[in-house]
A and B are shown apart, each in its own frame.
Chain A
Amino acid sequence: MTQLYHFHGGVHPPTHKNQSTRSPIATPPLPSKLVIPFHQHVGSMAKPLVQAGDYVFKGQLIGMPEDGLSSAIHASTSGTITEIGMQVVAHASGLPDLCATLIPDGNEAWIERERHNPITLPIDEIRHILRLAGIVGLGGAVFPSDAKLRGGKHHVRTIVLNGAECEPYITCDDMLMRQRARDIVRGGDIIRRVLGADEVLIGIEDNKPQAIAMMQEACVDRSSMRVIAVPTLYPGGGAKQLIRVLTGIEVAAGVRSTDKGVQCFNVATAYSIYRAVAFSEPLLSRIVTVTGNVQKPQNFEVLIGTPVDELVAWAGGKPDTTHHIMGGPMMGVALPNDQVSVVKACNCIIAASDALFPPAPPAMPCIRCTRCAEVCPQELQPQDLYWFAKSKNFGKAQEFHLFDCIECGACSYVCPSHIPLVQYYRFAKSEIWARDNDKKAADQARERHEFREYRIEREKQEKADKLAAKEKAALAAKQAAPVSDDAQQKIQAAMALAKQQAITPKNVSDLTPQQQAEIADIEARRANSQARAQSDAGT
C-alpha cells in the first residue's frame, strides 16, 4: 500500500457520473459539416495550408504549427474545404476566430500512414511526430505535448498520469481507461522513455473501480508503473493536487512541477501520444461526455470540428435545454451558442436546463465566514482576493497570490452568500494581463520615441558639422587665393572651388601612385578602343 498525502481543503459536490457510464463509447455518424478552428492550443495559431475548394484526406495537415509554442491542425475526415473564415468558436467570449469548414464526402479516405516502433524510434523523432500530429493536453489545458516532453534543466524522475477526473458529470477519461487501458499504458511508456523518468504513477479517484481494475491489469507486467487509487475529493484532479496526493511534493507558487522532478499528463493525452507515434494517427477525435438534460447521456468518440447541436442531438437533446456548458459544472464555461464546434479542449458537453441548474440565488455581501478559505485547495484567502478584485485593487490581489488560483470554484460552491467568486478572479486576472501588455506597449513606445529624438538630434548635429566643414573650406580657399578686393576674383575662386568639389569624385582622391597609374592605363585603353570603334564605323 502506498502512502498517500493530503491537499488542503476540497469539497464533495454530487458527482452525477453514473448516467453517462452505462453504455460504452459510441461512434456517431459523420456530421453534416466540420468547423475546425486553427487555434485550439496554447501558443500561436497554426498557419492555414489549404484554401476553399481544396480536397483533403482524413488526417491531412491543414494548419502548420508556427515556430515556437504552437501545434498542428488536421482535417478530421476526408472531404472538401468550403471556406476559410472567421466563425464563432467554443470560447466564453463568443468571439469569432479563423476556422476551416469541411464538408465530409463520407469515404473517410485516410492519408498515407506509417507504423513506427515506439521503443526504437529516436526521441527527437518522437517529439517531431507529436508536434506535427497536433497532440496537446486533453485534460483541458491544451498545452502542446511536444513542448512538455522537451524536459527542462531538471531531470524528471516521476511521471504522473492523471486519471482522477474529479469534476462532476465528466466521464470521458473513465470510459477511456475502461476500454483502452492498454494504449494508455503504452503512451505512458513513450512519455517515460522520452523524459527518461524512473516511474509512472497513475492516479485514479476511487469512485472508478472498473477503470482502476482495467488499468491495473494493463500495467501488471511493468515494474515502473503503478496504479494508485486516490480518495474522491474535488479538485483532486488538479495537477498540483494530484502530485501532492501521490508524491507528497508541494509545488509552491510560481514553481513548475518539473523543477521538482515531476511531470503530469492526462490519460487521454497518453493515449493520443501512443496512437500518434505508433500509427501516425494525428489528433482527429477525442472522447466527449454528452450529459445533463439529454435522453441518453453517453460518451462519444467525436471528430474535432463536430457542431455541438448535432452532437447533442445524437444523445437525444431535450427541448427545454437553455444552453450548453463546455467542461464540468465547476470549471466549465457556457457556450455562446450551440452551433460552435467541438475543439481539442472539449471534454464534456452538459445540456443545461433550469431544473438541473437553477439560476443562482441573488448574491449577498460577504460575511467573512472564511468557509471559502477552508476549502481552497491552493490555500489562498478567497474572501480577500474577492475584496481586492471587486475594488479593482489588482496590485493587492497579486500580492495575495491571485495567480495561484486554479479557478476550481470550490470557494463559490461553499459560499453561503452565493458570490460568483471565480468570475471576479477571472476578471482580475485578465485585467492584470491586459495591463501588463499595455505597460509593455508603453515601454516600447517610450523607447522608440527616445530613439527618434536621439536620431533627430544626431541628424541635426551631422548637418551642422557638414555646414561648418564647408564654411571652413571656403575660408581656406579664400585665403589661398591672391588677396585682392576684386569681386571678379572672389567669384572665380568660389566657382573653382565649386567645380573642384563637384567633379572630383571622392573615390579617386588620395590614391597611391600605383593605383593612379592603373587608372591612367585603363583610361588610355578606353580611349584607344573608342578611337578604333569610331574608325570601324567610318569604314
Chain B
Amino acid sequence: MISALLVMAGIAIVLGAVLGYAAIKFRVEGNPLVDKIDAVLPQTQCGQCGFPGCKPYATAIAAEEADINCCPPGGEEGIRKLAELLNKEFKPFGDNAKPKPKSVAYIDENTCIGCTLCIQACPVDAIVGAAKQMHTIIAADCTGCELCLAPCPVDCIAMNPIEETLSVWKWKYPVYALSPTP
C-alpha cells in the first residue's frame, strides 16, 4: 500500500518537474493570439482599418478594442477567417469599408520629379529610386496599399487593377440551375 502510494507520488513529482521545466523551456514569446490574428491579415499595411498597420490592428482585435470587419483588403473571406479563429459571428463590412479590386501602384515615369516622398511612405520598400532620379515600383512587392498616392506632389502614381492572366486564372464557382425536388 505504502509502496503504491510512493510510486504514485514519485510519478506525480517527476511529471510535475517535467511540466514545470517544459513551461520554462518552451515558453511562447509574445502574445500568441496577436500573432495568430496577424497571420490571417493580408499584410497590406494600408491603415484602412484605422490602425497604423496590420500588427496594431491584430493587437487591437486581440484586446477586443476593434471589430473584425474593418480590413477591406482581406475581403469577406478575411472576416470569415477571423470569425472562425476567434469563435465569433461573421459580420459584413460596414458602409465605409468596402473591398476594392486588387491593384498595384504604377509611377508615370515622365512626370516623376524624384522627390523620394513616396519611398518614405511605402511600408514594404516596394519603390526604388534616388533623389532627383526617376522612381519605379517593384510590382511583385507592391501590396496595393495606396499609401504612396497622397504624398506624391505631382500626382504621378496611379493604381492599376491586376488583370486576370492565364497564370492567375481561377475556375469559377459552378453556377447551374438546381431543380427543386418534386
Q: Out of A423, A442, A448, name the residue touching B125 (CB < 8 Å).
A: A448
User: Is A446 at the interface (CB under 8 A from chain B)?
Assistant: yes
- Closest chain B residue to A432, Cβ basis: B170
CB-based contact B42/A449 at 8 Å:
no
User: Is A54 at the interface (CB under 8 A from chain B)?
Assistant: no
CB-based contact B125/A93 at 8 Å:
no
- A452 with B123, Cβ < 8 A, contacts A93-B169, A362-B179, A364-B179 known: yes
Q: Is the interface of A mostly helix, strand, loop or mixed?
A: helix
CB-based contact A449/B169 at 8 Å:
no
Chain A hits for B164, CB < 8 A: 93, 95
CB-based contact A362/B171 at 8 Å:
no
CB-based contact A449/B123 at 8 Å:
yes
Contact with B along A15-34 (1 / 0, CB 8 A): 00000000000000000000
Number of A-B contacts (CB under 8 A): 81
Contact with A along B96-123 (1 / 0, CB 8 A): 0000000000000000000000000001
Q: How far is the CA of A390 from the CA of B5 in the complex (A)?
A: 57
CB-based contact A420/B176 at 8 Å:
yes
- A442 with B42, Cβ < 8 A, contacts A39-B166, A89-B166, A448-B141 known: yes
CB-based contact A95/B169 at 8 Å:
yes
Using a Cβ–Cβ cut-off of 8 Å, how many residues does chain B contribute to the interface with A? 29
Report the minimal beta-carbon distance from A399 to chain B, rounded to whole angstroms: 15
> 8 Å CB contacts to B: which residues of A413-466?
420, 423-424, 426-427, 429-431, 433-434, 437-438, 441-446, 448-449, 451-452
CB-based contact A449/B45 at 8 Å:
yes
Report the minimal beta-carbon distance from B148 to chain A, rounded to whole angstroms: 13
> 8 Å CB contacts to A: which residues of B119-138?
123-126
- Closest chain B residue to A425, Cβ basis: B171
User: Is B18 at the interface (CB under 8 A from chain A)?
Assistant: no
Q: Out of B38, B43, B166, B171, name the residue touching A95 (CB < 8 Å).
A: B166
CB-based contact A446/B43 at 8 Å:
yes
Q: Out of B38, B173, B177, name the residue touching A446 (CB < 8 Å).
A: B38
Contact with A along B62-79 (1 / 0, CB 8 A): 000000000000000000
> 8 Å CB contacts to A: which residues of B1-48?
38, 41-45
CB-based contact A97/B179 at 8 Å:
no
Chain B hits for A424, CB < 8 A: 174
> 8 Å CB contacts to B: which residues of A359-383?
360, 362-365
CB-based contact A449/B43 at 8 Å:
yes
Chain B hits for A89, CB < 8 A: 166
Chain B hits for A443, CB < 8 A: 43
User: Is A91 at the interface (CB under 8 A from chain B)?
Assistant: yes
CB-based contact A95/B165 at 8 Å:
yes
Report the minimal beta-carbon distance from B120 to chain A, rounded to whole angstroms: 10
Report the minimal beta-carbon distance from A80 to chain B, rounded to whole angstroms: 27
CB-based contact A427/B123 at 8 Å:
no
Q: How far is the CA of A399 from the CA of B2 in the complex (A)?
A: 50
CB-based contact A423/B171 at 8 Å:
yes
Ordered by A's residue number, 23 sampled pairs between the chains whose C-beta atoms are within 8 Å are A91-B166, A92-B171, A95-B164, A97-B165, A97-B166, A362-B176, A362-B178, A363-B178, A364-B178, A364-B179, A423-B171, A430-B171, A431-B171, A434-B168, A442-B41, A442-B43, A445-B141, A445-B143, A448-B125, A448-B141, A449-B45, A451-B125, A452-B124
B→A interface (CB under 8 Å): 38, 41-45, 53-54, 123-126, 141, 143, 164-166, 168-174, 176-179, 181
Further pairs besides A362-B176, A434-B170: 15, Cβ < 8 Å = A91-B166, A95-B164, A362-B178, A362-B179, A363-B178, A426-B171, A427-B172, A430-B170, A430-B171, A431-B170, A441-B143, A442-B43, A448-B125, A449-B124, A451-B125
